[in-house]
Amino acid sequence: MATNNRTADASLESLHRIFTVPEAPDSTLGLIEKELSENLNEFLRTHIAATEKPLAEIEKDFSNANIPEVPSFVSDHTQLLLNKLVAQSVHTAAPTFIGHMTSALPYFMMPLSKIMIALNQNLVKIETSKAFTPLERQVLGMLHKLIFNQNESFYQQWMHSADHSLGAFCSGGTIANITALWVARNAALQPDGEFTGVGQQGLLRAMRHYGYDDLAILVSERGHYSLKKAADVLGIGRDSLIAIKTDDNNRVDLDALQTTLTDLKRNNIKPFAIIGIAGTTETGNIDPLDQLADIAAEHQCHFHVDAAWGGATLMSNKYRHLLKGIERADSITIDAHKQLYIPMGAGMVIFKNPELMTAIEHHAEYILRKGSKDLGSHTLEGSRSGMAMLLYASMNIISRPGYELLINNSIEKAHYFAHCIEQHPDFELVTHPELCLLTYRYVPAKTQQALLHATPEQRDQLLELLNDLTQFIQKRQRESGKSFVSRTRITPEKWQRKPTTVFRVVLANPLTTTEILENVLIEQQQLAQQSTISLPEIITLTDQITKKSTKIDI
Ligand SMILES: *Cc1c(COP(=O)(O)O)cnc(C)c1O
């Protein structure tokens, strides 16, 4: 570690310097900039430590609550960041990092982000963003067209209309989902006669006016946790986000949905939004969107589709049919920082009808004046960066067919990996990839057989042990730093809906090769052998079951 005792002094002169004079090319920061622009991969590979320190250790480096009384030189501080922060960060861009929705970025993002930061626009209003405002509106229009494919005159009429909005750019899927449900809530409890709307008068008076006992939002049990946050902040309450059970493909059970809707209405509870998921976070499955659209229409509910992760599939002419029915949604969430390869902090909500967002319109005197084109009048967030520029650039540089190649490639790689898992005697594919996400686990071949003959108690015991083993392998794999898959718990039909711990793989990084995938299985099989508790117990139990069942067979 660089323990340099040089101190800078807090003079106006030195402060003036940091605002005006760049770091010298041979300074620490200058060299880093050079490394970053010449070989990003090498930079990440050399500066991120291969094996991780325990979090408790890292916390010690970040536990001083005092704001420094003495300034640091930029170079010294940069060195500290490299040692303490960068070294212990996560190499999300590595082709062997296949556990999350965060992947590598195209190279051009780095210099373009610098332009964005240098300009430091604030998209809340025209006065601080000028051309960035029409650019953002165009980006929203492009996504709108990708989903709804309205004609040219539609976009000419609405894209730049001051009192309308095709959607909102925001920091991610969570804010997008909150915005969509905010619009849905305000539309369901809109002004009516004396009543000036829920936005103005609040939930209590809205309920009194409309005579409902409660409200409800319906989504499958695979709904993302951000929806609970939305129900909470919108005053509806988390209990009123109703989880509908799923079928054995992790898709919402439509009969259960219909039954719940009927029950709610009988109890004077107003269901105002039905949410379809286009790519669940845990298993990547897509709800039957067309049927959901029918049900939403029948019950006069707002139909929202959470396509935060899977929405980018619409770029693929080959696979966009998987999202059929999405064009009937009232609103859609899409994250650009997932499968559109934009840096973290880029989400969108798109509304089919350009009038819908007026339900949440806010105005203020010094900005967001009525009739102004300020984006802030239709967004939950206030000050926002010019992130839309990166998506605009990406859609131009990569283009729709380029994105299609990326998407097709990811999906086909997931199919390949699923095939490897199915062919392997010691692995079990738990959910098939519909998009580029799949789940699986390690189960020795003999144990797979034994599970078929086991008594219910033995089976439960084995399943518990397998859960421990999956957790063990996943942790070891992460700690050893060669590759990374994530881990989640799902309730597969096949295992009587018992909580089952599985490896979760998302194949979005275009640099992940089939060889890497094959090696992941080899590594996991080796790691399993290091388990000194669960694996031996699994084998003992397997042998017991096998002996008994062969006796019976004889
Ligand atoms: C990622 C995700 C979200 C939340 O998005 P953030 O960008 O993390 O806020 C919501 N829904 C689904 C289906 C997601 O995959």
DSSP string, 240-292: GEEEEPB-TTS-B-HHHHHHHHHHHHHTTEEEEEEEEEBS-TTT--B--HHHH
Q: How many beta carbons lie within 10 A of that of residue 107, not counting itself?
A: 11
Query: According to the model, what pLDDT value does residue 1 have?
Result: 42
User: Rounded CA gap, 494 and 235, in Å?
Assistant: 38
Give me 343's structure tokens: 């840096």
Give me 501's structure tokens: 């711990």
Residue 167: DSSP 8-state: E
Query: According to the model, what pLDDT value does residue 2 have?
Result: 45
Query: According to the model, what pLDDT value does residue 552 have?
Result: 55
DSSP string, 366-380: SSS-TT---GGGG-S
Q: Could you state, in order of their start, the residue ranges of all structural domains in the chain? A: 1-89, 402-553
Q: Which of 281, 285, 304, 349 to mutate to test the pocket of ligand 1 (most atoms within 8 A of CB)?
A: 281
**pLDDT tens digit sequence for 191-203:** 999 999 999 999 9
Q: Is the CB of 386 under 6 A from ligand 1?
A: no
Nearest-atom index, ligand 1, CA of 224: 11
**pLDDT tens digit sequence for 464-476:** 999 999 999 999 9
**Minimal-distance CA residue to ligand 1 atom 12:** 308
User: Rounded CA gap, 156 and 245, in Å?
Assistant: 42
Nearest-atom index, ligand 1, CA of 280: 13
Q: Is the CB of 347 under 6 A from ligand 1?
A: yes
**CA 226–ligand 1 middle distance (angstroms):** 7
For residue 214, what is the enclosing H or E element?
Answer: strand 214-220
Nearest-atom index, ligand 1, CA of 277: 13
User: Rounded CA gap, 305 and 287, in Å?
Assistant: 9
**CA 278–ligand 1 middle distance (angstroms):** 11
Query: According to the model, what pLDDT value does residue 381 have?
Result: 94
pLDDT in tens, the chain (554 residues): 444 567 777 889 988 988 998 888 899 889 988 988 888 888 998 999 877 789 999 999 999 999 999 999 999 999 999 999 999 999 999 999 999 998 899 999 999 999 999 999 999 999 999 999 999 999 999 999 999 999 999 999 999 998 899 999 999 999 999 999 999 999 999 999 999 999 999 999 999 999 999 999 999 999 999 999 999 999 999 999 999 999 989 999 999 999 999 999 999 999 999 999 999 999 999 999 999 999 999 999 999 999 999 999 999 999 999 999 999 999 999 999 999 999 999 999 999 999 999 888 887 766 667 778 889 888 999 999 999 999 999 999 999 999 999 999 999 999 999 999 999 999 999 999 999 999 999 999 999 999 999 999 999 999 999 999 999 999 999 988 889 999 999 999 888 889 999 999 999 999 999 999 999 999 999 999 999 999 999 999 999 999 876 655 54
- Collapsing DSSP to helix, strand or coil, 12 comes out as helix
For residue 33, what is the enclosing H or E element?
Answer: helix 28-38
Which CATH class, in words, describes the domain spanning 402-553? alpha beta
Q: Is the CB of 281 under 6 A from ligand 1?
A: yes
Q: Is the CB of 285 under 6 A from ligand 1?
A: no
Residue 312: DSSP 8-state: G
Query: According to the model, what pLDDT value does residue 550 have?
Result: 63
Residue 331 C-beta-side C-alpha neighbours within 13 Å: 28
**CA 399–ligand 1 middle distance (angstroms):** 24
Amino acid at 139: V
Query: According to the model, what pLDDT value does residue 325 have?
Result: 98
Q: How many beta carbons lie within 10 A of that of residue 270, not counting itself?
A: 19
Give the global pTM: 0.95
**CA 275–ligand 1 middle distance (angstroms):** 14
Give me 317's structure tokens: 């002419």
Cβ(318)–Cβ(408) below 8 Å: yes
